[in-house]
């Protein structure tokens, strides 16, 4: 019987056949479970509901990156969280959205109200001034507007018995009453100008005497106008 010889040779292993040398990707269906003790942790629950948003603007485009964390609960009572992969959404915005929006104009109503208030105040102030002037004139001249003076004009008068003058605005008719030497029996009345228009009866009328070239003449003041009466030695005549 023949003898059989067996020759042993060293075995060579191919390194590429070893799976433990490669980094394998976890299957997308795998779930990561959280430990039981972190289920009721408020800080963990708060972080699970937090999503981060990053924005990048380039050439008028807006890119939004959103990463969400979702929590699930297993039938056994254990909670698990799965990380949702990042999702990129490209949104094209109109160029008009990049322009600053104009706020509603509220200045115009304010200006209008201010103008109305200014007009009312101006009208009220004007009315108040007119009323005050009329009140002062009523207290000074009465109605009808009347003024009086005493002066020595050479018409049977003297310093002891001066001539008395009354100036009256009687419904727009200016009248001057002269009482020489205070003797009412010698009273003279001469008419002055006639005033036309509304409110002319409220214009005050006054008078005074002046020495002009040796003659005592009479000047009647009606508002801002002056009327001269010449003295002939016996009576006055309008100039």
Q: Where are the domains of the chain?
A: 32-98, 102-141, 143-238
For the CA atoms of 4, 10, 14, 18, what is the dihedral angle to 10 degrees?
A: 90
Report the pLDDT averaged over residues 105-128: 89
Q: Which two tokens stand for residue 131?
A: 């009323």
Highest mean pLDDT among 1-5, 64-68, 73-77, 132-136: 132-136
pTM of the model: 0.50
Report the pLDDT averaged over residues 203-224: 91
Counting Cα atoms < 13 Å in the Cβ hemisphere of 52 gives 7
Report the pLDDT averaged over residues 52-63: 49
């Amino acid at each position: 019987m023949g003898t059989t010889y067996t020759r042993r040779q060293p075995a060579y292993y191919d390194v590429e056949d070893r799976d433990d040398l490669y980094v394998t990707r976890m299957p997308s269906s795998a779930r990561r479970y959280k430990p039981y003790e972190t289920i009721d942790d408020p800080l963990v629950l708060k972080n699970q509901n937090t999503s981060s948003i990053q924005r990048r603007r380039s050439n008028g485009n807006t890119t939004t990156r959103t990463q969400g964390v979702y929590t699930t609960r297993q039938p056994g009572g254990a909670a698990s969280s799965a990380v949702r992969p990042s999702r990129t959404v490209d949104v094209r915005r109109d160029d008009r959205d990049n322009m600053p929006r104009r706020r509603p104009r509220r200045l115009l109503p304010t200006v209008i109200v201010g103008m109305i208030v200014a007009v009312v105040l101006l009208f009220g102030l004007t009315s108040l001034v007119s009323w005050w002037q009329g009140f002062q004139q009523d207290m000074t001249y009465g109605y009808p507007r009347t003024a009086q003076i005493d002066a020595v004009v050479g018409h049977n008068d003297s310093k002891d018995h001066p001539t008395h003058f009354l100036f009256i605005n009687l419904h727009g008719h200016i009248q001057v009453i002269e009482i020489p030497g205070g003797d009412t029996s010698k009273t003279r009345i001469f008419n002055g100008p006639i005033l036309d228009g509304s409110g002319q009866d409220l214009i005050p009328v006054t008078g005074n005497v002046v020495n002009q070239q040796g003659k005592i003449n009479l000047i009647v003041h009606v508002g801002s106008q002056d009327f001269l009466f010449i003295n002939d030695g016996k009576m006055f005549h309008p100039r």
